[in-house]
């Protein structure tokens, strides 16, 4: 199976932070909202992600960055959840997918997203593109 490319979209301003790498699907969300979130929510999410990257995602665990399935984490951005995993310790977070959370608990749809991302991580089906 072909590997999925990820691109660094947010780099930490401070040393010791986390670089956020994103798949094409996550980049579309952050670039134009994919038609599901408005400009204000998108801008807030990007600012929050920059804050997480600057401080290192590890500092925001488990409040805003939670282990959800296997070694896959959900990054909580209000109702938006990024699904991804860490590479190189906590230096890089690889965001492969996202969804809008509509309930307090994870439902089957959300768990399938986390399981799919964990499968990508487990199989090594991703690659960094500079």
What would the mean pLDDT of 80-99 be, rounded to a whole number? 94
Q: In the prediction, which pLDDT does 33 show?
A: 65
Percent of the chain with pLDDT over 90: 67
Q: How far is CA 76 from CA 37, 39, 62, 83, 129, in A?
A: 15, 18, 10, 9, 25
Residue at 129 is within a domain: no
Residue at 128 is within a domain: no
Rounded to whole angstroms, how far apart are CA atoms 44 and 41?
5
Residue located via tokens 């964990």? 118
Which residues lie below 8 Å from residue 108, measured CB to CB, with a gap of 6+?
none
Q: For the chain, how many structural domains are there in total?
A: 1
Residue predicted with more confidence, 124 or 39: 124
The two beta strands, 80-87 and 19-22, are unpaired
Q: In the prediction, which pLDDT does 34 show?
A: 64
Residue at 17 is within a domain: yes
Confidence of residue 103 (pLDDT cuts 50, 70, 90): low
CA 71 to chain centre: 13
Condensed to tens digits (0 to 9), the pLDDT of residues 34-68 reads 677 788 888 898 999 999 999 999 999 999 999 99
Q: In the prediction, which pLDDT does 67 show?
A: 94
Residue at 130 is within a domain: no
The mean pLDDT value of the chain amounts to: 89
Domain that holds residue 39: 4-122
User: Helix count (H) and strand count (E) of the chain?
Assistant: 3, 7
Q: Which two tokens stand for residue 20?
A: 């956020």
Confidence of residue 122 (pLDDT cuts 50, 70, 90): very high
107 pLDDT above the threshold of 80? no
Q: Are residues 58 and 90 in contact, defined by beta-carbon separation less than 8 angstroms?
A: yes
Residue at 13 is within a domain: yes
CATH number of the domain where residue 61 is located: 3.30.2310.20
């Amino acid at each position: 199976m072909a590997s999925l490319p990820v691109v660094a979209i947010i780099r930490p301003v401070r040393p010791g932070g986390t670089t956020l790498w994103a798949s094409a699907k996550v980049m579309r969300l952050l670039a134009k909202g994919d038609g599901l979130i408005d400009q204000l929510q998108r801008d807030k999410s990007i600012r929050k992600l920059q804050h997480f990257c600057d401080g290192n995602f590890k500092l925001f665990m488990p409040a805003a960055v939670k282990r959800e399935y296997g070694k896959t984490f959900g990054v909580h951005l209000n109702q938006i959840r990024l699904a991804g995993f860490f590479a190189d310790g906590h230096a890089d977070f690889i965001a492969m997918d996202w969804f809008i959370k509509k309930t307090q608990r994870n439902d089957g749809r959300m768990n399938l997203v986390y399981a799919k991302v964990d499968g990508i991580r487990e199989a090594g089906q991703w690659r960094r593109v500079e």
